[in-house]
Amino acid sequence: MSMVAMPSLKTAQHRRANRHRRPQEITLNWFKYSEKHMTQSSARFGFVEFAETWNGRLAMLGFVIGLGTELLTGQGILSQIGLG
């Protein structure tokens, strides 16, 4: 029978005490990632990590804006631009 390691009480207390810091840590980690990967003087066009990262971010933003607009107006995206 395999033994599963249970977290110690000290670990659980540490997590509870630092629960409020988690979003700030995520933000700081994102900024560290951005500084490391977005300020390199390497290629920025084509199928490189920089371009793909920004393409994904802008696609997610566009999707959320389109969905919000559809919910607010009650019309589909195609009918909003006159194609539907």
pLDDT digits (tens, 9 = 90+) for 53-64: 999 999 999 999
Give the predicted TM-score (pTM) of the model: 0.47
**Which segments of 2-82 does DSSP mark as H helices, in order?**
9-17, 22-38, 49-73, 77-80
> Alpha-carbon distance 30 to 47, whole Å?
22
The average pLDDT across 35-46 equals 67
